Structure 1
Amino acid sequence: MKSAIAASLLLAATAIAAPLEARAAATVGFALSNDQSGSYAGVTFPADGTDKTISSLFGSTSVGSSGHVLASSAQLTQFPGTINCVLKNNGAALATFTAQKTYADLDGNPAKVIPVNLDHATINCHA
Protein backbone atom coordinates (compact mmCIF):
# COMPACT_ATOMS: atom_id res chain seq x y z
CA MET A 1 0.00 0.00 0.00
CA LYS A 2 2.83 2.39 0.91
CA SER A 3 4.55 1.73 -2.40
CA ALA A 4 1.32 2.49 -4.29
CA ILE A 5 1.00 5.82 -2.46
CA ALA A 6 4.65 6.67 -3.15
CA ALA A 7 4.21 5.83 -6.83
CA SER A 8 1.08 7.98 -7.00
CA LEU A 9 2.90 10.93 -5.41
CA LEU A 10 5.80 10.56 -7.84
CA LEU A 11 3.41 10.44 -10.79
CA ALA A 12 1.56 13.52 -9.53
CA ALA A 13 4.83 15.44 -9.08
CA THR A 14 5.85 14.57 -12.63
CA ALA A 15 2.50 15.73 -14.01
CA ILE A 16 2.77 19.04 -12.14
CA ALA A 17 6.31 19.67 -13.41
CA ALA A 18 5.41 19.10 -17.07
CA PRO A 19 3.63 22.46 -17.60
CA LEU A 20 6.69 24.31 -16.24
CA GLU A 21 8.92 22.62 -18.79
CA ALA A 22 6.45 23.46 -21.56
CA ARG A 23 6.46 27.14 -20.54
CA ALA A 24 10.26 27.24 -20.49
CA ALA A 25 10.34 25.85 -24.04
CA ALA A 26 7.91 28.44 -25.52
CA THR A 27 9.10 29.82 -28.83
CA VAL A 28 8.28 33.01 -30.65
CA GLY A 29 7.99 33.51 -34.38
CA PHE A 30 8.94 37.06 -35.36
CA ALA A 31 9.11 38.62 -38.82
CA LEU A 32 10.45 41.82 -40.34
CA SER A 33 9.33 43.37 -43.62
CA ASN A 34 10.95 46.03 -45.73
CA ASP A 35 7.98 47.24 -47.74
CA GLN A 36 10.21 49.49 -49.83
CA SER A 37 12.37 46.65 -51.17
CA GLY A 38 9.75 43.91 -50.83
CA SER A 39 11.95 41.77 -48.59
CA TYR A 40 10.51 39.70 -45.75
CA ALA A 41 12.11 37.32 -43.26
CA GLY A 42 10.87 35.35 -40.29
CA VAL A 43 12.79 33.68 -37.47
CA THR A 44 11.96 31.71 -34.34
CA PHE A 45 13.68 31.92 -30.98
CA PRO A 46 12.98 31.00 -27.35
CA ALA A 47 10.85 33.40 -25.30
CA ASP A 48 13.30 33.16 -22.42
CA GLY A 49 13.44 36.79 -21.27
CA THR A 50 16.90 37.50 -22.71
CA ASP A 51 17.85 40.16 -25.23
CA LYS A 52 18.37 38.87 -28.77
CA THR A 53 20.13 41.15 -31.23
CA ILE A 54 18.20 41.79 -34.40
CA SER A 55 21.44 41.70 -36.39
CA SER A 56 22.19 38.15 -35.20
CA LEU A 57 18.62 37.01 -35.92
CA PHE A 58 18.15 38.74 -39.30
CA GLY A 59 21.64 39.69 -40.52
CA SER A 60 21.85 36.85 -43.02
CA THR A 61 18.25 37.12 -44.24
CA SER A 62 16.75 39.16 -47.07
CA VAL A 63 16.05 42.13 -44.75
CA GLY A 64 19.71 42.10 -43.71
CA SER A 65 21.33 41.29 -47.03
CA SER A 66 22.65 44.81 -47.65
CA GLY A 67 24.93 44.63 -44.60
CA HIS A 68 22.31 46.45 -42.53
CA VAL A 69 19.02 45.21 -41.16
CA LEU A 70 16.37 47.50 -42.63
CA ALA A 71 12.66 47.03 -41.94
CA SER A 72 9.51 49.11 -42.11
CA SER A 73 7.28 46.75 -40.10
CA ALA A 74 7.49 43.90 -37.62
CA GLN A 75 5.06 41.16 -36.65
CA LEU A 76 4.69 38.26 -34.26
CA THR A 77 3.85 35.17 -36.30
CA GLN A 78 3.88 32.42 -33.67
CA PHE A 79 3.48 32.94 -29.93
CA PRO A 80 1.90 31.69 -26.72
CA GLY A 81 -1.14 33.61 -25.44
CA THR A 82 0.84 35.19 -22.60
CA ILE A 83 3.64 36.62 -24.77
CA ASN A 84 5.20 40.02 -24.16
CA CYS A 85 8.01 41.25 -26.43
CA VAL A 86 9.78 44.59 -26.47
CA LEU A 87 11.71 45.70 -29.54
CA LYS A 88 14.32 48.32 -28.71
CA ASN A 89 16.46 50.29 -31.12
CA ASN A 90 19.57 52.00 -29.77
CA GLY A 91 18.22 51.33 -26.26
CA ALA A 92 14.86 53.07 -26.79
CA ALA A 93 11.60 51.10 -26.93
CA LEU A 94 10.39 51.00 -30.53
CA ALA A 95 7.43 48.61 -30.17
CA THR A 96 5.78 46.25 -27.71
CA PHE A 97 4.12 43.06 -28.93
CA THR A 98 1.51 40.95 -27.15
CA ALA A 99 -1.03 38.34 -28.20
CA GLN A 100 -3.44 41.26 -28.77
CA LYS A 101 -0.94 43.56 -30.53
CA THR A 102 1.07 41.51 -33.01
CA TYR A 103 2.04 44.16 -35.60
CA ALA A 104 4.02 47.40 -35.56
CA ASP A 105 4.75 50.02 -38.22
CA LEU A 106 8.36 50.79 -37.28
CA ASP A 107 8.71 54.25 -38.80
CA GLY A 108 5.66 55.48 -36.87
CA ASN A 109 3.87 56.79 -39.95
CA PRO A 110 1.39 54.32 -41.49
CA ALA A 111 0.98 56.60 -44.53
CA LYS A 112 4.66 56.21 -45.51
CA VAL A 113 7.07 53.33 -46.04
CA ILE A 114 10.37 54.33 -44.46
CA PRO A 115 12.70 51.46 -43.53
CA VAL A 116 14.33 51.78 -40.11
CA ASN A 117 17.93 50.70 -39.52
CA LEU A 118 17.83 47.96 -36.86
CA ASP A 119 21.58 47.22 -36.70
CA HIS A 120 21.63 48.11 -32.98
CA ALA A 121 18.19 46.76 -32.08
CA THR A 122 17.27 43.99 -29.63
CA ILE A 123 14.13 42.04 -28.91
CA ASN A 124 13.26 40.55 -25.55
CA CYS A 125 10.31 38.17 -25.20
CA HIS A 126 8.85 36.31 -22.24
CA ALA A 127 5.72 34.26 -21.87
Structure 2
Amino acid sequence: MKPIAALVISLLAASISASPVIPTVTVAFANDQSGAQGSAAVPADGSQQSISSLYGSTPIGASGAVVASSAQLTSFQANTNCVVTNSKSAVVGTLTADHTYLDLDGNPAAAVPLNLGGWTISCTV
Protein backbone atom coordinates (compact mmCIF):
# COMPACT_ATOMS: atom_id res chain seq x y z
CA MET A 1 0.00 0.00 0.00
CA LYS A 2 2.82 2.41 0.80
CA PRO A 3 4.47 2.03 -2.64
CA ILE A 4 1.15 2.84 -4.36
CA ALA A 5 0.65 5.94 -2.21
CA ALA A 6 4.19 7.08 -2.99
CA LEU A 7 3.57 6.55 -6.71
CA VAL A 8 0.30 8.50 -6.63
CA ILE A 9 1.91 11.38 -4.73
CA SER A 10 4.84 11.53 -7.14
CA LEU A 11 2.50 11.50 -10.16
CA LEU A 12 0.41 14.30 -8.65
CA ALA A 13 3.52 16.34 -7.92
CA ALA A 14 4.75 15.83 -11.48
CA SER A 15 1.42 16.87 -12.99
CA ILE A 16 1.25 19.99 -10.81
CA SER A 17 4.80 21.03 -11.64
CA ALA A 18 4.20 20.34 -15.33
CA SER A 19 1.29 22.77 -15.60
CA PRO A 20 2.33 26.03 -17.21
CA VAL A 21 2.90 29.01 -14.96
CA ILE A 22 1.08 32.07 -16.24
CA PRO A 23 2.95 35.25 -15.33
CA THR A 24 0.99 38.16 -13.92
CA VAL A 25 1.43 41.91 -13.71
CA THR A 26 -0.17 44.15 -11.11
CA VAL A 27 -2.26 47.05 -12.32
CA ALA A 28 -3.86 49.65 -10.05
CA PHE A 29 -6.92 51.64 -11.12
CA ALA A 30 -7.71 54.80 -9.17
CA ASN A 31 -10.49 57.32 -8.78
CA ASP A 32 -8.36 60.44 -8.48
CA GLN A 33 -11.31 62.49 -7.19
CA SER A 34 -12.32 60.24 -4.30
CA GLY A 35 -8.86 58.79 -3.63
CA ALA A 36 -10.14 55.20 -3.92
CA GLN A 37 -7.89 52.71 -5.68
CA GLY A 38 -7.84 49.02 -6.36
CA SER A 39 -5.05 46.69 -7.43
CA ALA A 40 -5.29 43.31 -9.10
CA ALA A 41 -2.97 40.69 -10.56
CA VAL A 42 -3.70 40.52 -14.28
CA PRO A 43 -2.71 37.34 -16.16
CA ALA A 44 -0.02 38.24 -18.70
CA ASP A 45 -1.10 35.63 -21.24
CA GLY A 46 -2.80 37.98 -23.71
CA SER A 47 -6.32 37.07 -22.63
CA GLN A 48 -8.91 39.82 -22.27
CA GLN A 49 -9.88 40.29 -18.65
CA SER A 50 -13.01 42.11 -17.49
CA ILE A 51 -12.07 45.13 -15.40
CA SER A 52 -15.37 44.76 -13.50
CA SER A 53 -14.47 41.18 -12.55
CA LEU A 54 -10.93 42.04 -11.50
CA TYR A 55 -11.71 45.23 -9.57
CA GLY A 56 -15.37 44.90 -8.56
CA SER A 57 -14.52 43.91 -4.98
CA THR A 58 -11.89 46.64 -4.52
CA PRO A 59 -12.54 50.17 -3.20
CA ILE A 60 -13.14 51.45 -6.77
CA GLY A 61 -15.95 48.90 -7.16
CA ALA A 62 -18.44 50.72 -4.93
CA SER A 63 -22.17 50.29 -5.51
CA GLY A 64 -21.66 47.59 -8.14
CA ALA A 65 -19.90 49.89 -10.62
CA VAL A 66 -16.15 50.13 -11.12
CA VAL A 67 -15.31 53.83 -11.35
CA ALA A 68 -11.80 55.13 -12.03
CA SER A 69 -9.94 57.95 -13.74
CA SER A 70 -6.46 56.45 -14.12
CA ALA A 71 -4.49 53.22 -14.30
CA GLN A 72 -0.92 52.44 -13.35
CA LEU A 73 1.40 49.45 -13.65
CA THR A 74 2.76 48.73 -10.18
CA SER A 75 4.47 45.35 -10.56
CA PHE A 76 5.72 44.34 -14.00
CA GLN A 77 8.57 43.08 -16.15
CA ALA A 78 10.62 45.07 -18.66
CA ASN A 79 8.67 43.64 -21.62
CA THR A 80 5.18 44.12 -20.14
CA ASN A 81 2.46 45.39 -22.48
CA CYS A 82 -1.11 45.97 -21.23
CA VAL A 83 -3.91 47.30 -23.43
CA VAL A 84 -6.99 48.89 -21.86
CA THR A 85 -10.11 48.74 -24.05
CA ASN A 86 -13.44 50.48 -23.43
CA SER A 87 -16.93 49.02 -23.77
CA LYS A 88 -16.97 49.92 -27.48
CA SER A 89 -13.79 47.84 -28.04
CA ALA A 90 -11.76 50.98 -28.68
CA VAL A 91 -8.24 51.08 -27.26
CA VAL A 92 -8.10 53.67 -24.47
CA GLY A 93 -4.37 53.29 -23.94
CA THR A 94 -1.39 51.05 -23.39
CA LEU A 95 0.70 50.50 -20.27
CA THR A 96 4.34 49.43 -20.63
CA ALA A 97 7.52 49.53 -18.57
CA ASP A 98 8.27 52.90 -20.19
CA HIS A 99 4.70 54.23 -19.93
CA THR A 100 3.36 53.11 -16.54
CA TYR A 101 0.53 55.67 -16.12
CA LEU A 102 -2.68 56.03 -18.12
CA ASP A 103 -5.22 58.86 -17.88
CA LEU A 104 -8.48 57.08 -18.74
CA ASP A 105 -10.53 60.10 -19.83
CA GLY A 106 -7.82 61.37 -22.18
CA ASN A 107 -7.73 64.83 -20.61
CA PRO A 108 -4.50 65.38 -18.66
CA ALA A 109 -5.89 68.64 -17.22
CA ALA A 110 -8.79 66.90 -15.41
CA ALA A 111 -9.42 63.74 -13.43
CA VAL A 112 -12.83 62.60 -14.65
CA PRO A 113 -13.91 59.25 -13.12
CA LEU A 114 -15.48 56.90 -15.66
CA ASN A 115 -17.71 53.85 -15.23
CA LEU A 116 -15.53 50.98 -16.48
CA GLY A 117 -18.40 48.55 -17.01
CA GLY A 118 -17.67 46.52 -20.15
CA TRP A 119 -14.02 47.60 -20.22
CA THR A 120 -11.21 45.05 -20.52
CA ILE A 121 -7.50 44.79 -19.97
CA SER A 122 -5.14 42.44 -21.80
CA CYS A 123 -1.49 42.00 -20.78
CA THR A 124 1.52 40.16 -22.17
CA VAL A 125 5.14 39.76 -21.09
User: Paired residue for 1:66, among 60, 63, 67?
Assistant: 63
Q: Which amino acid aligns with 1:29?
A: T
2: distance between equivalents of 1:68 and 1:95?
21
| Structure that is richer in helix per residue | 1
Partner of 1:15 in structure 2? Answer: none
1: distance between equivalents of 2:48 and 2:84?
9
Which 4+ stretches in 1 moved above 3 angstroms?
Answer: none
User: Paired residue for 1:28, among 12, 25, 30?
Assistant: 25
**Structure 1: which 5+ residue stretches go unaligned?**
1-20
**Structure 2: which 5+ residue stretches go unaligned?**
1-17
2: distance between equivalents of 1:27 and 1:59?
18
Number of residue-to-residue matches in the alignment? 106
Partner of 2:118 in structure 1? Answer: 120
Q: Percent of aligned positions with the same letter in both sequences?
A: 51
**TM score, norm. by length of structure 1:** 0.78
Cα distance per residue 1:80-106 (max 9 Å; x no partner): 111111000111101101110010111
**TM score, norm. by length of structure 2:** 0.80
